[in-house]
Structure 1
């Protein structure tokens, strides 16, 4: 603590200086970790929102609209939609598991380093979930193109060709 010297000046104890510096360092480290975590979480949120939005739009444009016009492929359409829903339910289960693990690990954290590791693990887990979402959406779009849209286009082309032949010939079709 503080003690006066012979000339009446006050000297600050070296331990107090060290403690003050440690406190400052801890505050700086805490702020740095919070900043890094916020940036990482914002990045993941943007990735999730961007990916889901882009893929959902593609899915609706390519697949769902294709299914509407492809009644001859309704069996394939139903299977594709069922697979899509099943895969998304599995992904949501993964999401809840990550949230639960994050919550438990955060509660068990003993210091800033632990919290930082917990947050980085959560960011990695959510990034992997985004990848899963992208894969599921991409596979669904591919399935729709192969099983629904392409056959519909072929059927339409065949029908148009048949109508053209009927129109150009004098025979009744």
Structure 2
């Protein structure tokens, strides 16, 4: 039997579809730059962002154009996003949000200094973090962090979206 190698999540999976819709929504909100600190839980979003970062002729029809910046370290990713938001504030088009994407657990906590900086500077930063599905939270699994509310009162909105 030959092994079949695939890259990315199953094309028709609910997670893949939700990730594509989320990337489209980000672009609709004016997001042009996304900083990704990849991990296994955020893989569907990473693949959707990779599609959106392709050149015009190579980008899938469903994918809006974004500039993707990949950083392995979450703290670096957070501060790059803050810097991009600060630079965007001085563009002719005016300020626009920048998104930063991480996987779950302590990766989220590593964004806290950048979230504080964005808050105190009045910069529009969208923080998208992956998490375990609701039904797997609080089950004693390793490397879990309670993510909802982790940034406290320094964010304008927190949404804990159920898995598709």
TM-score range, shorter chain: under 0.3
The structure number with the bigger radius of gyration is 1
Larger RCO (CA under 8 A, 6+ residues apart): 1
**More helix as a share of residues:** 1
**More strand as a share of residues:** 2
TM-score (normalizing by structure 2): 0.21
